[in-house]
Structures are given as C-alpha cells and as structure tokens.
Amino acid sequence: MRLIGGDLSRAREIFISVTVLGDCETAVPRSGGKPGHLLFVSGFLGDARAGLQLLGKGFKPGRRGKAGPLLKAFLDPTPQLKLGRELARRKLASAMIDLSDGLSVDLMHLCDAGGTGAEIVLDRLPLSPGIRAFIRRPIALALHGGEDFELLFAAPPKNRAAIRSAKLKPPVYEIGRLTARKGIFIIDGQGVKKPLEPQGYEHFK
C-alpha cells in the first residue's frame, strides 16, 4: 500500500481521521523557495505551547488578561486558511507551509523541499505580550513550540513592498531569508550566527 499523505503519526492505539482531497486554483508548494528569498511568518509564535504550559500550572480556560490568548491559542487555534488563499491569489509567496510542528521543524521541511538553507534573526520573531509575561524563555517556544497553525512562507525580495502594503490579517513579519548554504542558522542580538538544530513534533517518534 502506498501512502500519499494525510494525518500520519505513530501511535500504540488505532486512530481514525478524515482527509479531504480536492483541487485549488493556485497552489503554493513547499518547494518554490530560492536562495535569497525572504522568510515571513503570520501572527505570534509559541503561544500554543505557552498555553499548554499554563494549563499544566492550573490556569483555567476562559481566563482573562494576558494569559487568555495563550490558552485560546492552544485550546481553540485558528488555522490561517484565508491568509493562505490571499497569498496564493496575489502570487506573493513562492513557498509556504503551516506551523503545526514548530518553526524550526517546519522551516527544515521547507528548506528540504526547495534544496536551500535558511537564516533566522531572533530579534525579529514575533512574540505576544502574554508569552513575554509568563514564559521565561519565549524564544525557545517560538522556535520549537508547535501547534501555532500560523503560516511560514518565502517570497522574492521584489515582493517585500507589496507584502508590507497588503494589510494582511493576521499581520506577517519578516524573520529571515533562504540561503544557498544548507542548514538552518540563527542570528542573535549581537549578530553572531549559530547553527540551529530543529526540534519539534515528529510524526513517527
């Protein structure tokens, strides 16, 4: 039997899920990114994992204040379907993937598909007020948390102005670029470049 995709995971029990197949007018593949293309993400990163941590500490769903959006991000995430369609319709993105497994892992998938590497500027990662208030190391969750269901996409530099002026919702943030050199690297606040080991959800572990 050949597996063509879908919700594939390793588990001890039997799980049944539904996969819908169909056609779309304009698809943006994972494989379209080229060296020099810019990297963007939508929304805030790490909020879902932060919400899970707060639940483990006894925070209750429906809580108000800065914790509320974190809990909602984990318990009731909003997939960015409309944004994905808009990016495809306007031909702004060259490659795209959703951030369900974590930024570092999904960026690795994007790079593997396109045969590129990547550089991420840590100071550009979008962090919410909630994650800054409750999480000691928010950058780690932004890089590896997973289940954010935001979008990561690449775009040619010529599209930067159009992306910035498009008033996309949720807002998108430029976080780095694709490179010809393989591997993923982070650039810290002092401009020091370090290799990044992808960490996040792996479907068959």
Whole-model pTM over 0.85: yes
pLDDT-derived band at 22 (thresholds 50, 70, 90) equals confident
Instruction: Please give the pLDDT value at position 164.
Output: 95
Mean per-residue pLDDT for 38-53? 97
Instruction: Please give the pLDDT value at position 201.
Output: 54
Superfamily of chain region 30-195: PurM-like C-terminal domain (3.90.650.10)
Rounded Cα distance, 191 and 140, in Å:
18
pLDDT in tens, 54-97: 999 999 887 778 999 999 999 999 999 999 999 999 999 999 99
pLDDT in tens, 117-136: 999 999 999 999 999 999 99
Total Cβ atoms within 10 A of residue 21:
7
Long-range contacts made by residues 18-24, C-beta under 8 angstroms, separation at least 24?
Answer: 24/88
* Domain parsing of the chain, residue ranges: 30-195
